[in-house]
Amino acid sequence: MRHLISRIGPCTLLIRDKARWFDTLVNGVVSQQISSRAASAIVGRLRQTSGSSSMVTQSGIETTDDAVLRSMGLSRAKIASLRDLCLRLADGRLNFDLLTDASDYEAIKMLDDVRGIGAWTAQMALMFALGRMDILPATDIGVQRGIMRAYQLVAMPSPSTVQRIAAERGWSPYSSIACWYLWCVAEPEGNALW
């Protein structure tokens, strides 16, 4: 990692304050299986609907009709995920204060219970909302592409290879920072969502 750090410079991993955690989770749901550019455009429209240029709000999602959300580019499955997220926050099944004190495993489990939030989205939330420094999203294409480029591999590494490389190179307890550098290598233009 030393050569990446010297080439890229100091890590500017953005940890969001609690007021932006909902926005972070929405980013995670929206960005699943689509390009960063498309996700950024959809999130921008959701922010406008929420009356803000900087974050999506729970009330913005709750008060927007499904047809309007569809017209913004959201699939039915992602709308269902966002509705479930709002419902769980409203009825207390998901509580941001509890996430703060939970272990990484417990926090991922709590988030994984939300429809459409799987391990990857939960890991992104732990990194960018909760500021957890030892998260390794081994299935992330950007991390895999970054490893391929940084270590001059001929093919994309599998998740198990990502885990092996991280262990061999001693990324823990700063795996999140290592991933940030790998994303910089994978997408030099930057990731607008995170």
Do 23 and 93 lie in one domain? The reply is: yes
Q: What is the pLDDT of residue 192?
A: 40
Do 120 and 142 lie in one domain? The reply is: no
Domain C-terminal end among 82, 109, 128: 128
Do 22 and 7 lie in one domain? The reply is: no
Q: What is the pLDDT of residue 72?
A: 96
Token pair 């991390």 is found at: 143
Report the alpha-carbon distance of residue 156 to residue 193 in Å, rounded: 23
Number of domains, the chain? 2
Give the mean pLDDT of the chain. 91
Domain C-terminal end among 95, 128, 161: 128
Could you tell me what percent of the chain has a pLDDT over 90? Answer: 72
Mind listing the pLDDT tens digit for each residue in 30-44?
988 888 889 999 999
Of the candidates 99, 165, 101, which has an alpha carbon nearest to the alpha carbon of residue 136? 165
pLDDT band for 172, please (50, 70, 90 cuts): very high
Cα→Cα distances 187→123, 149, 180, Å? 19, 11, 10
Average pLDDT over residues 183-191: 75
Q: What is the pLDDT of residue 190?
A: 55
Do 25 and 67 lie in one domain? The reply is: yes
Average pLDDT over residues 159-168: 98
CATH code where residue 62 lies: 1.10.340.30
pTM of the predicted model, to two decimals?
A: 0.83
Average pLDDT over residues 97-118: 93
Do 117 and 144 lie in one domain? The reply is: no
pLDDT band for 12, please (50, 70, 90 cuts): confident
Do 144 and 182 lie in one domain? The reply is: yes
Average pLDDT over residues 94-105: 92
Is the pLDDT at 87 greater than 90, yes or no? yes
Phi, psi angle pair for 113, to nearest 5°: -70, -20
Do 28 and 111 lie in one domain? The reply is: yes
Cα→Cα distances 194→80, 98, 164, Å? 23, 23, 25
Do 29 and 91 lie in one domain? The reply is: yes
Do 123 and 177 lie in one domain? The reply is: no
pLDDT band for 132, please (50, 70, 90 cuts): very high
